[in-house]
Amino acid sequence: MSSAHNTHLHLLRDFFGLDPDRHADLVGAMQPVELDGGQWLFQQGDPGDSLYFLVRGRLEAWHQDDDGTARMLNEIAAGEAVGEVGLLTNAPRSAGVRARRDSLLFRVDRASLDELARSHPEMVMQISASVAHRLARHTQRRHTRPAPRTLALVALDNDPELMDWIARLADDLCGNGEGMALSPEALQALGAPDGIDTDTGSPGTALKQWLSEQEEQFQRLVFQVASGPSGWNDYALRQADQVVYLARADAEPSRRPIESAVAEDESRLAHGESLLALWHGPGTTTITGTASWLESRPGTRPLHVRADHAADQERLVRILTGRAIGLVLSGGAVRGLAHLGVIKAMGELGIPIDWVGGTSMGAVMAACAAMGWNSEEAIAQARKAFVDGKPLSDYTLPLLSLMRGKRMERLTRRFFPTRIEDLPIPFFAISASLNSGDTNIHESGPVWRALCASASLPGLFPPAIHERELTIDGAVVNNLPVDVMQQRLVGQVIAVTLSAHRQRQVDFDEAPSPWAVLGGMIWPFGKRKKVPGVASMMLKAIELGTRKRVQELGDRADLLIRPPIERFNMIDVNQYDDLVQTGYESSLESLRAWISESAGAAGDGQPK
């Protein structure tokens, strides 16, 4: 009996609790399917006649639209079922599925399942219960991307300091016995069989089998890949759920041959997002020059580690292990200042912000966090910008908007003088195209431009310009972009919404005229008409128009915080201190409860 067959029997026992001796018929019906990276399991439109269980590897589900555009729907991790809908409904495949890396699945076709149901109904019930349990476990609140099980750390240069940093990173990724760091030099010490082919440098059959066994034993495998070509590099890249290129930030930024080879080989992460982790030497505080690295690497996401900032390394490890925490901040005009209180509470409770994004004023507050400011500095800087700076005071002839928007532009230029790709904490902002209504996700370019675009409330500020199109406030299309954050490399999402639900009654039957409102304001004995101003009504209209969508997105977050901000005016910056304090006090209770709940589920004191 072959080693591979024994491995398949072992996996069936662990995966479904089946005894090969007692359940020989059922074991015989479970046919192993091995896919190379880049190979299709099935195509969109194929008959839905089989159910698959992914035991090892990573798959991608792809849908082709009517116009021929291919979209990746989601990733499929080990332990999940594939094709169950087609098997149950007898409908054609609604999407195609391909292997992101070398993968092993077990296949059950409809004919085999029907035969087993007739001859051994109790065994089919057992496997059905196992399938139902796995489907429930993997679909319950699973909105974020699955954490990578295999990582390839690719050194772009053979620099001693760079290689030392990569070795430390590999150790951190494998901490607490969770992972195994793999390189050709370390294999013998790890107890691997002597299986490197002397001609090609590729792992032989015995070594590949051993590596597969390690993947079953550890939460993750970390392949260390040198910059030159080799059989080991080819194998490691083909096994990687996530490729991470690593370089010194002060090195020459041109594209390296190994990057081009990976991009040109469709069997190796042809559609996967690559990461570029840049190491900044001692003494680095301000990050610059990332755009030059990205010019030749379209679609690559940059991450930064400064040698003197331990938090940067810790953040990178959380991102690569699926434990990063994403913070999403909604719009809400001046009420958005309450987000600063939430950021303060997270800092005091030791909850890291590993990725941050937002809409409108939420994007501005998110940028404060992404700059790397601590909560005290963020609160002080925001006070200078939005209280002392008075961005809502440059009224103009209302032909295009109530305000010129130039003061807001000057303030964001002054306080956010960097580029998004140079921020130490990954960041995005949301705006809307006035032409098409499409959502713009700002993840590169000057921070101030992204903020002005995201906060260009129609009627209050003039439209911004983004890629030669008029752009308006992102709250119009997505005021709580939890869905955008969940497409990033985060494990959990905290969202803060500023939607107000206060019910107000008026004491008049018809809306008062402008003159009546003005008279109530200036005449000492006149009756004041309690009606919102023009700016407040525009802000409220957007909030009402997006409330249902905000509720749906809020439900997808792991934690949704709702500061009680109904009593605050939407455009009065003099409420600054009260807003920050309200955000702080209201979020402390929610965050503490979330930590306790997470600790109970994970068995320790940190959210997982």
Mean predicted confidence (pLDDT) in 246-266:
89
Residues in contact with 379: Cβ distance below 8 Å, sequence separation at least 6, in sequence order? 340, 344, 580
* DSSP H or E stretch at residue 35: strand 31-35
Query: What is the pLDDT, as a whole number, of residue 269?
Result: 47
Convert the pLDDT of each residue in 478-518 to its tens digit: 999 999 999 999 999 999 999 765 556 655 566 666 656 55
Pairing of β 275-280 and β 301-306: parallel
CB 469 within 8 A of CB 433: yes
Indicate if the alpha-carbon torsion angle 361, 366, 367, 372 is positive or negative: positive
> How crowded is residue 456: how many other Cβ atoms within 10 Å of its Cβ?
27
* DSSP H or E stretch at residue 301: strand 301-306
Rounded CA-CA distance 373/381 in Å is 9
At the topology level, CATH places domain 3-137 in Jelly Rolls (2.60.120)
Residues in contact with 510: Cβ distance below 8 Å, sequence separation at least 6, in sequence order? none
Query: What is the pLDDT, as a whole number, of residue 519?
Result: 59
pTM for the structure as a whole? 0.83
Convert the pLDDT of each residue in 583-605 to its tens digit: 999 999 999 999 998 865 554 44
Q: Which amino acid is at 232?
A: W
Query: What is the pLDDT, as a whole number, of residue 271?
Result: 44
> How crowded is residue 582: how many other Cβ atoms within 10 Å of its Cβ?
20
Give the residue from 531, 541, 484 showing the smallest Cα distance to 505.
531
> Which of the residue ranges 112-121, 369-378, 386-395 would you say has the lowest mean pLDDT?
112-121
Convert the pLDDT of each residue in 412-431 to its tens digit: 999 999 999 999 999 999 99
Query: What is the pLDDT, as a whole number, of residue 9?
Result: 56
Q: Which amino acid is at 371?
A: M
Statement: residue 555 has pLDDT above 80:
yes
Tokens of 564: 């009680």
What is the second-level CATH architecture of the domain 325-500+530-596? Answer: 3-Layer(aba) Sandwich (3.40)
Do 3-137 and 325-500+530-596 come out as alike in CATH topology?
A: no
Domain ranges of the chain: 3-137, 150-321, 325-500+530-596
> How crowded is residue 602: how many other Cβ atoms within 10 Å of its Cβ?
11
- pLDDT tier, 129 (very low <50, low <70, confident <90, very high otherwise): low
Mean predicted confidence (pLDDT) in 537-557:
77
Query: What is the pLDDT, as a whole number, of residue 255?
Result: 95
Mean predicted confidence (pLDDT) in 323-337:
94
Which class in CATH covers the domain with range 150-321? Answer: alpha beta
**Residue entry with tokens 């990033």:** 488
> Which of the residue ranges 14-18, 308-312, 466-470, 550-554 would you say has the lowest mean pLDDT?
14-18
Would you call 560 helix, strand, or coil by DSSP? strand
Measured in whole angstroms, how far is the alpha carbon of residue 416 from the centre of its chain?
23
In Å, how far are 20, 123, 295 from 23, measured between CA atoms?
A: 5, 8, 57
**Backbone φ, ψ for residue 345 (5° rounding):** -65, -40
Give the residue from 239, 303, 301 showing the smallest Cα distance to 277.
303
Burial letters 16-50, b for 16+ CB under 10 A, else e: bebeeeebeebbebbeebebebbeebbebebebeb
- pLDDT tier, 263 (very low <50, low <70, confident <90, very high otherwise): confident
Query: What is the pLDDT, as a whole number, of residue 352?
Result: 97
Query: What is the pLDDT, as a whole number, of residue 308?
Result: 95
- As a whole-number percent, the residues of the chain with pLDDT over 70 amount to 80
Burial letters 67-93, b for 16+ CB under 10 A, else e: eeeeeeebbbbbebbbbbebbeeeeeb
> Which of the residue ranges 184-198, 423-437, 448-462, 485-499 would you say has the lowest mean pLDDT?
184-198
Statement: residue 309 has pLDDT above 50:
yes
Give the residue from 164, 589, 546, 587 showing the smallest Cα distance to 339.
587
Written as one string, the DSSP assignment of 325-361 is: EEEEE---GGGGGHHHHHHHHHHHTT----EEEEETH
Give the residue from 247, 242, 207 showing the smallest Cα distance to 227.
247
Average pLDDT for the chain: 84
Query: What is the pLDDT, as a whole number, of residue 605?
Result: 45
* DSSP H or E stretch at residue 59: strand 58-64
Rounded CA-CA distance 273/282 in Å is 29
Written as one string, the DSSP assignment of 527-552 is: PPP----HHHHHHHHHHHHHHHHHHH
